[in-house]
Structure 1
Amino acid sequence: MRLLPAARGFNGAVLFPTMTFAIFFVVVLGVSWRLSDRPLQWRLFVLAASYVFYGWWDARFCLLLAGSTIANHLVVQLVSRARTDRSARAAMVLGIVVNLVVLGFFKYYGFFVDSLLQVLEPLGLAPTALLIKVGLPVGISFFTFCAISYVVDVYRQDQEPIPFLDFAVYLSFFPHLVAGPIVRVSEFEPQLRRRRNRDSVDAVRAARLICRGMFKKVVIANYLATAIVDPVFASPGQSPNGELVAAAVAYAVQIYADFSGYTDMAIGIAMLMGIRFPDNFDQPYSATSIQDFWRRWHMTLSRWLRDYVYIPLGGNRGGERAESRNLVLTMAIGGLWHGANWTFVIWGFYHGFGLVLERKWRERPPRPWRRGAIDIRDPDAPEERGPDDGSTRVMARPEVARREPNVWLSRLAVFAFVTVGWVFFRAVDLPTAIDYLTGIVTRWGVGDLVTPLVLLTIGAGMVGQFVPRQLGDALEYRASKLPPAVLGVGVGLFLVIANLLGPVGVAPFIYFAF
């Protein structure tokens, strides 16, 4: 029975086989609670278990994680002990540069070298000696961003330095190490200092999160990937627009089910160990604006970009033009963070300009009413004399002229905007994305891959965006009243059913690549 999909790196190596992880977690959970009243031993054990988890894919990258831990701890000591703000700022900048250089080398070296070669090859100047193969450590973006936030928070005096062992546990804690959520020291470290009590663990909620995450990943995300998304995106030029539209919508559902499914399981697993993570998703496809979408999608990354990129760039200070520039740059950086490909950069700019245009549209001044139009406004609104013909016109009140659009139309428009962006996110390169979007308006037809089961699965994934939270909380409350043995059997049966409903083989989580 599957308990957690295996993760794969770019070289195809398995990060942690499924059944091995099940055994690993059962052992870790049991020993963890046995050591709950011995804080030092608990920290050392969890640290060792996290390194075993990370090193299962490639033990050499444990050296990278350890090096990042030591380097950032030393930088934080320099920042906190600096006698002047200038020296503290210099230490902070040093820490950020070191983190970004390491991240840039492993994640973006090949991207920048390939881009350079494409420019120089026509000139006969391509330095092929620059081409070396660099393996991408799983989760490097996540633990690097965690480290940067710690360094900056200490410099801002929003966070006191924490002991080295606590920081090592924080940075390597296996439930969030490889794909988030991006947990900050201020959210994690205080929990290490509190005494953990097994009776205070919300096991029912943890089971609900793990089961929900499994269903999203194994049943919804994996099926859509194999049934329509992967074959259509592999050769979009051979698909009619019916398949292209369905595959784009299916990918929107897939990436949500995949990533939020992992997050649910990560939060549930951490909860069983007595650690609470912040929420990372809040029904994003029910958003009524692009801004609202980013308040609901990958919320820990959105907050990170706001606090450590957008605000340092100037935020909304400096006028409307500066605010728009900072917003676009922030989203472009967020796009590049997702991967070393121009498609991610375009995706970031796409959302950045979308946010800017949406803000301008929502803040537009009221439009004066034209003469001859049907008057549907407040009859008590004041009259104003026309410009030169002596006529009069009723001026609309601001609150009447700026009515909000229909909620469901707004949701549909935002979902369509986001789905078009996902095409760039999923395509292997920019020409493929352009060919995909061009085919939607030029190649008419339905296609064989648009089956009733595909449409039903897409619908199931979308329905979850609008289920009231109270319903899940009510079911959770009723489950908490069941005997533990009955609850355990129920969870086991659910996992078996999810396993049977999912396709053969378990695809890696999408965000393990980032």
Structure 2
Amino acid sequence: MLFPTATFAIFFLIVLPLSWLTMPWPHRWRPFIIAASYVFYSWWDWRFVLLLAGCTIWNQMLAVRIWRTTDRARRKSLLFLALAGNLGVLGYFKYYDFFVSSTDNMAAIVGYDLPLSLKAIVLPVGISFFTFMAISYVVDAYRGEFEPTTLEKFAVYLSFFPHLVAGPIVRPSELIPQIEKPRDPRRVDTSRAFYLIATGLFKKVVIANYLASSIVDQVFAAPGQHSSLEILIAVYAYAVQIYADFSGYTDIAIGIALLLGFSFPQNFDSPYAAVSVQDFWRRWHMTLSRWLRDYVYIPLGGNRKGTVLTYRNLMLTMLIGGLWHGAAWTFVVWGGLHGVALAGERWWHGRRAAPARPLAGWPRWRARILTFHFVCFAWIFFRSDSFGSAWDMIEGLFTGWGEPSPLVTSGVLLAIAVGIGSQYLPARLPRVVMARFSRLPVLAQATVLALALMVTSVLGPEGVAPFIYFQF
């Protein structure tokens, strides 16, 4: 079920009042919201509800046993079992065909013919997100940082429909305490919720969908048929598309959760205004960045075991992050490029005797421009279907100048400018807009929202494409 559809609108108009009506009685609200979330998830394929339910029971059972066990070796064994179960399910559904085809190709290179076969397994929507949330739950229990809750509350945490299929990745300590006590409808920040939903819909339906249909999909599908200018603009367009698509989804998810009385962590903070690759990852998909830091990078040793191992840990973390995004070597290369850049930045700053001063003026803009173009270059591998296609894109940047470029229209350039320029607006501007909106009479608020939705509907292409991150 997609957010920007009439189906979801009807679903939410039913769920929202019933959620608040049952909220004063948690023993009624929790089964209701679990059922609503399972209906939401089953709309795509009802069979995978069983997978979600099994993941819930498995992780709750082992998290409780880990928490209650005092023997260190036993606790480690239980943690390993929990992780093996989660990663095994994720590996089967998401990476089975990838590993089989990769193994078969490597064997063919050395002259072996392995009797391996592909299964064309259907990837459950959102499996990467709820698997990582489940891992957070059991690992936090193992570390003694979070006491497991009841099965019912954990089921709400894992299946809560606003974050279920594409994040943000919410930690147990961020959501479960909110589940454990009724929310107060008088404290719901409706102005912020409506602002996030309206802007999220505009980013997804207007900016992301327009750029995808107008230039990105056509150029990446056949880069050899397009000019260098079209390829360059398509790369910029994809950078804006993926930002508008994913941050738009996140905005809608956070807004919907707010209307239900729950607060989610921020997931984007003007990433294309970053002055370094490290700064980019502090701003892009922030919940995933923190997850990789806390559950991969730090357990590997972080920066505590010397310079060389720090570089190794950065590389491994980003390679895992790349593979998490998709079962293809292009995603691994994308993660590897970011790993090399992070290691390179750390090496460069490590050469200085004194801490670097904050950049200002032209040096700051130069750093932003260089970071943005590195990120855009890496997006070529992320978006391309194969290395051959990625190489055709890169080669085409240099070999087709002066050719006709009909796809580079004023609308495409305006959408790119809006997508990037909006990240340089003053941080206080949204707060000012929300404050003024909240002071409007109810009828005026309804009118503003109706106009915003109408503009989004008129400007957006016909139909709504699935969110990019649904496939991850």
Moved more, 76-85 or 138-147: 76-85
Q: Distance in 2 between matches of 1:418 and 1:403?
A: 19
Match of 2:380 among 423, 433, 438: 423
Q: Distance in 1 between matches of 2:425 and 2:357?
A: 33
Q: 1:402 to 1:505 in 2, by over 3 A?
A: closer
Cα deviation for residue 445 of structure 1 reads 2.9
What RMSD over aligned residues (CA atoms) do the two structures have, in Å?
1.8
Q: Corresponding residue for 2:470?
A: 512
Q: Distance in 2 between matches of 1:438 and 1:359?
A: 30
Q: Indicate yes or no: 2:436 matched with 1:478.
A: yes
- Return structure 1 stretches of 4+ with deviation > 4 angstroms: 121-125, 398-405
Q: 1:86 to 1:335 in 2, by over 3 A?
A: same
**Amino acid aligned to 1:487:** Q
**Amino acid aligned to 2:381:** F
Residue 3 of structure 1 contacts residue 214 of structure 1 at CA under 8 Å; is this kept in 2?
no
User: For structure 1, which runs of at least 5 residues remain unmatched after alignment?
Assistant: 6-17, 367-397
Residue 3 of structure 1 contacts residue 495 of structure 1 at CA under 8 Å; is this kept in 2?
no
Cα deviation for residue 131 of structure 1 reads 2.0
Task: Give the alignment of 1:404-415 within 5 angstroms.
Answer: 406-415=363-372
Q: Indicate yes or no: 2:151 matched with 1:164.
A: yes
Q: Corresponding residue for 2:269?
A: 282
Q: Distance in 1 between matches of 2:141 and 2:418?
A: 44
Task: Give the alignment of 1:208-287 within 5 angstroms.
Answer: 208-287=195-274
Q: Indicate yes or no: 2:61 matched with 1:74.
A: yes
**Amino acid aligned to 2:370:** A
Match of 1:460 among 418, 422, 425: 418
Match of 2:51 among 55, 64, 70: 64
Secondary structure (helix, strand or coil) at the match of 2:424 reads coil
Match of 1:437 among 388, 394, 397: 394
TM-score, with structure 2 as normaliser: 0.96
Q: Indicate yes or no: 2:446 matched with 1:488.
A: yes
Q: How many residues align?
A: 470
Q: Corresponding residue for 2:167?
A: 180
Q: Distance in 2 between matches of 1:3 and 1:486?
A: 28
| Identical counterparts, % of pairs | 55
Secondary structure (helix, strand or coil) at the match of 2:385 reads coil
Residue 205 of structure 1 contacts residue 476 of structure 1 at CA under 8 Å; is this kept in 2?
yes
Cα deviation for residue 117 of structure 1 reads 2.3
User: For structure 2, which runs of at least 5 residues remain unmatched after alignment?
Assistant: none
**Amino acid aligned to 2:454:** V
Task: Give the alignment of 1:20-419 within 5 angstroms.
Answer: 20-121=7-108, 125-127=112-114, 130-365=117-352, 406-419=363-376
Q: 1:402 to 1:282 in 2, by over 3 A?
A: closer
Moved more, 151-160 or 399-408: 399-408
Cα deviation for residue 79 of structure 1 reads 0.4
Cα deviation digits, residues 463-494 of structure 1 (max 9, x gap): 11111121111111111011112201210111
**Amino acid aligned to 1:354:** A
TM-score, with structure 1 as normaliser: 0.89
Moved more, 83-92 or 46-55: 83-92
Cα deviation for residue 289 of structure 1 reads 0.7
Q: Distance in 2 between matches of 1:488 and 1:24?
A: 20
Residue 213 of structure 1 contacts residue 265 of structure 1 at CA under 8 Å; is this kept in 2?
yes
Cα deviation for residue 195 of structure 1 reads 2.5
Cα deviation digits, residues 96-149 of structure 1 (max 9, x gap): 111001000000001111112223346775445522121100000000000001
Cα deviation for residue 67 of structure 1 reads 0.4
Residue 349 of structure 2 contacts residue 356 of structure 2 at CA under 8 Å; is this kept in 1?
no
Query: Which of the pair is proportionally richer in helix?
Result: 2
Q: Distance in 1 between matches of 2:115 and 2:16?
A: 50
